[in-house]
Amino acid sequence: MGGVCCRPTPIDFDGDVTLFHFTLLRCVGKGAFGKVRVVQHKQTKELYALKYINKQKCVKMKAVPNVIQERRLLEEIDHPYIVNMRYAFQDDENCFFCLDLMLGGDLRFHLERLGSLEEDVVRFYVAQLASAVAFLHEHGIMHRDIKPDNILLDQRGNAHLTDFNIAVHFSERKLTGVAGSMAYMAPEILAKRGYTCHVDWWSLGVCAYELIFGRRPFRGRTNSDLTYSISKDSLKWPEDAEKKCTRPGMLVLKGLLDRDTSRRTGCKPNGEGFQELRRNPWFKEIDWEKLELKELSPPFVPDAKKANFDASHELEELLLEDNPLKAKARKASNQENMTPEYKQMEDQFTPYDFKKMQRRSYYPHNQSQLISTATAGSSTGMVSSAVTSGSRPGTPMTTAGDGGRVTIHNGSMDMHRPEEEHDGVAYDNEKEPR
């Protein structure tokens, strides 16, 4: 029989990227805003991680500016130790990021299973992440949320920074919005007297300490105890510290966790801080040139036979999700009836396709730095109309309100993520400095 109605509609791979271009595979992660699953491109057969954010939830959580900002920043960057964006698109229900797939799991997952990591392994990750952080800072971007949950391993065991949800551009003007996960926040953020990209080096220090010793350097039962500890406590070492870490290692941790940003490791301007870090004796075994070409063999190779993900994400999707992800054709959009937030997503979460478009910046002070599609493979070097239109839509502004999770302090928005409250998480939509 075989009625004509059952024949699948042909997929237009030359047109804008849509969910129809991908086969949906297992769920591997969940963040506060998005779910993440493995997908395969039907034409190229490449595997990717698809992070998708439900529009309704995004509006409810007042996170529309964050999602747009994340999409814009990710278009600008491409680095061996960053989880790079390959495609971006939306349908009526979700905004989608298609990212490099990391099959080795995140460092929170490994830390929870192992208790702590070998110093050699951590040194290797710190070197890779330092290279990513220096690259971001060179492009005027601060990440603000470096923590083990946002560091992902590929299947060979290389570390990559992900989650640009609260990353921002910075310039001369210092930021004041309290943003990030409190346990990893630099003291100058909590002091509310202004901070800049130096905060990322501090967070990297907190991560490295936690990975080596299996506990964080500054702790507190309440947010105010934690704030006190970060701001005032002297850096202490666990009793068995010398068994787990050499003196040069401890000196690097101490250097990253220096409250004085003029002395903090990594912070000297114009990349000099990173150059100093590269010359540090702790890294003498690291061949930095090979590292940046991704030619070094990682000291820990994640077990490819075991799933390096929490199986609960997949189970939850199978058992509890009443609206499972499915490719759906878009309804003709009636922009008149859209709320401002939906309209903002419609207009500003523009499609991106790394095979067809050149990466570029949405921010005035970075406009001159066109970023090549070095890893784009078959890039045609074509620039889509979406990126040649000259004037970019304005930077999204915070739409602050008093919904359950959002509080406003001094004009900045702090968004509390209940599932991570033990870390004292506060999220902020910092306005882009001009």
- Residues contributing to the annotated binding site for ATP: 51
Which partner from the list ligand ADP, Mg ion, none does 49 bind, CB cut-off 5 to 8 Å by kind?
Answer: ligand ADP
Q: What tokens appear for 345 in the block?
A: 């997503």
> Does position 31 bind Mg ion by CB under 5 A?
yes
Which partner from the list ligand ADP, Mg ion, none does 146 bind, CB cut-off 5 to 8 Å by kind?
Answer: none
Nearer of residues 150 and 395 to ligand ADP, judged by Cβ = 150
Nearer of residues 199 and 415 to ligand ADP, judged by Cβ = 415
Nearer of residues 36 and 178 to ligand ADP, judged by Cβ = 36
Size of residue set near Mg ion by CB under 5 A: 3
Q: How far is the CB of 397 from ligand ADP (least distance, A)?
A: 20
CB under 8 Å to 206, separation ≥6 — which residues? Answer: 147, 183, 184, 216, 217, 218, 257
105-106 and 94-100 strand pairing: unpaired
Q: How far is the CB of 142 from Mg ion (least distance, A)?
A: 16
Rounded to 10 degrees, the C-alpha dihedral 229/230/233/238 comes to 90
> Does position 163 bind Mg ion by CB under 5 A?
yes
- Residues numbered 103 to 162 that lie near Mg ion (CB under 5 A) are 150
Asked about 92 being catalytic, the answer comes back as no
Q: Which stretch binds Mg ion (CB under 5 A): 12-20, 31-39, 41-49, 370-378?
A: 31-39
Which partner from the list ligand ADP, Mg ion, none does 430 bind, CB cut-off 5 to 8 Å by kind?
Answer: none
Q: How far is the CB of 110 from ligand ADP (least distance, A)?
A: 11
Which partner from the list ligand ADP, Mg ion, none does 33 bind, CB cut-off 5 to 8 Å by kind?
Answer: ligand ADP
Report the binding-site residues. Answer: 51
Residue by residue, DSSP assigns 75-112 as HH---TTB--EEEEEE-SSEEEEEEE--TTEEHHHHHH
CA distances from 122 to 116, 173, 252, 264 (A): 10, 33, 12, 19
Residues 7, 216: Cα–Cα separation, whole Å: 56
Q: What tokens appear for 82 in the block?
A: 């960053």
Residues 267, 317: Cα–Cα separation, whole Å: 43
Residue by residue, DSSP assigns 251-278 as HHHHHHT-S-TTTSTT-STTTHHHHHHH
> Does position 188 bind Mg ion by CB under 5 A?
no
> Does position 310 bind Mg ion by CB under 5 A?
no
Q: How far is the CB of 164 from ligand ADP (least distance, A)?
A: 8
Residues in contact with Mg ion, shown as a per-residue x/- string from 278 to 307 under the rule CB under 5 A: ------------------------------
Residue nearest to Mg ion (CB): 163
Which partner from the list Mg ion, ligand ADP, none does 152 bind, CB cut-off 5 to 8 Å by kind?
Answer: ligand ADP
Residue nearest to ligand ADP (CB): 31
Residues 256, 397: Cα–Cα separation, whole Å: 33
Helix, strand, coil tally for the chain in percent (to 5): 35, 15, 50
Backbone region of residue 76 per phi and psi (left: phi > 0; alpha: psi in -120 to 50; beta: other values): alpha
Residues 147, 422: Cα–Cα separation, whole Å: 13
Indicate which residue of 91, 100, 145, 149 is catalytic: 145
Q: How far is the CB of 375 from ligand ADP (least distance, A)?
A: 15
Residue by residue, DSSP assigns 352-399 as EETTT--B--SSGGGTT-PBP-TT-SS------HHHHSSSPPPPPPP-
Kindly list the residues in this chain that would bind ligand ADP in the complex (CB under 6 A).
28-29, 31-34, 36, 49, 51, 83, 99-102, 106, 149-150, 152, 162-163, 165
CB-based contact 119:247 (threshold 8 Å): no
Q: How far is the CB of 252 from ligand ADP (least distance, A)?
A: 25
Which partner from the list ligand ADP, Mg ion, none does 162 bind, CB cut-off 5 to 8 Å by kind?
Answer: ligand ADP
CA distances from 320 to 25, 94, 313, 315, 317 (A): 17, 18, 10, 8, 6
Give catalytic residue positions: 145
Provide the binding-site residues for Mg ion, judged by CB under 5 A.
Answer: 31, 150, 163
